[in-house]
Amino acid sequence: MIDLSVTRDWSIFNAQAYLQEYYADIGAENLAILDFLVRTLRDVSPESVLLDFGGGPTLYSLIASANHAREIHFCDYLDSNLEQVQMWLEGHPQAFDWTAFIETTLILEEADCSKSSIVLRENEIRQRVTRILHGDANLSRPIQTDVSGYDVLVSNFCAESATEDIEQWRKFVRNITSLIKPGGKLIMSTLKGATSYGVGNDVFPAVNIMEADLNDLLINLGFDRTTIEIDSVPADRPSRHYQGLIFVTAIKAA
């Protein structure tokens, strides 16, 4: 049965409302996300080229990867999301303030978190992000790039937050992970047990997946089953339309 309260009109997605709803503070979910990224990015080669696929209007994966990867590419489907990221990269006065996320990331890295260190990390992000691209997970070639395969691909709350159909979700993940080179690393965060997710007064579709769904799909997509690591945390507010968050890392088989 189709839930008529859920909209599939992405043109009304309000990037600023989304940022205020999910990233206005460092709650338990955001702390878990940052901790996951800091831990999983520690062993990334400093020569890596990293892609953040479907990053929305957010910067948190860039904060954690800017002092690891040599070069970062960022893509999303919605122009309004790309505009929010571009505004921050250009230092626009109305850009979303990610200072608390940068400070928390530095603390998790056990690094100095003084004001000068926060500014240094901001500068690192702006230097390392070299491409802002349009991405479409529905396409077998999701982005237009001359990169034959990415060393690291980060994707947070993308594929499962764009559909309620599990077969379409599998297609999205297949297309996204096709951008990873053999031996490359996937770092992914997803909603767990979702029915939808709210942004202001609007409700958008999400697919109901659990840890086993992710594990089975990644094995089918050619990831080394011995490298797949999955963890999860519960949702931090009862008003959420999902049970929690799933974190997964995996290496694509050579």
Q: Is the per-residue pLDDT at 4 higher than 60?
A: no
Q: Which domain covers residue 135, as residue numbers?
A: 14-251
pLDDT tens digits for 138-192? 999 999 999 999 999 999 999 999 999 999 999 999 999 999 999 999 999 999 9
**CA 86/CA 160 separation, integer angstroms:** 24
**What is the mean predicted confidence (pLDDT) over 37-45?**
95
| Average pLDDT of the chain, as a whole number | 95
Q: Is residue 77 part of a domain?
A: yes
Q: What is the pLDDT of residue 85?
A: 98
Q: Is residue 231 part of a domain?
A: yes
Which candidate, 53, 46, 94, places its Cα nearest to that of 76? 53
Q: What is the pLDDT of residue 241?
A: 85
Q: Work out the pLDDT band at 57, boundaries 50, 70, 90.
A: very high
pLDDT tens digits for 76-99? 999 999 999 999 999 999 999 999
Q: What is the pLDDT of residue 9?
A: 87
Q: Is residue 9 part of a domain?
A: no
Q: Is residue 4 part of a domain?
A: no
Contact 250, 216 (CB under 8 A): no
Q: Work out the pLDDT band at 240, boundaries 50, 70, 90.
A: confident
Q: Is residue 8 part of a domain?
A: no
pLDDT tens digits for 186-235? 999 999 999 899 898 899 999 999 999 999 999 999 999 999 999 999 99
Both structure tokens of 219: 């094995």
In the block, tokens 């349009």 appear at 134
Q: How many CB atoms lie within 10 A of CB 89?
A: 17
Q: Tell me the one-letter amino acid at 60.
A: Y
Q: Which residue has the higher pLDDT, 72 or 238?
A: 72
In the block, tokens 């409302």 appear at 17
**CA 221/CA 120 separation, integer angstroms:** 38
Q: Is residue 5 part of a domain?
A: no
Contact 207, 166 (CB under 8 A): yes
**How many independent structural domains does the chain possess?**
1
Q: Is residue 154 part of a domain?
A: yes
Q: What is the CATH number of the domain that holds 241?
A: 3.40.50.150
In the block, tokens 């297949």 appear at 174
- Triad 19, 25, 31: Cα angle to 5°: 105
Q: Is residue 6 part of a domain?
A: no
Both structure tokens of 99: 């200072």
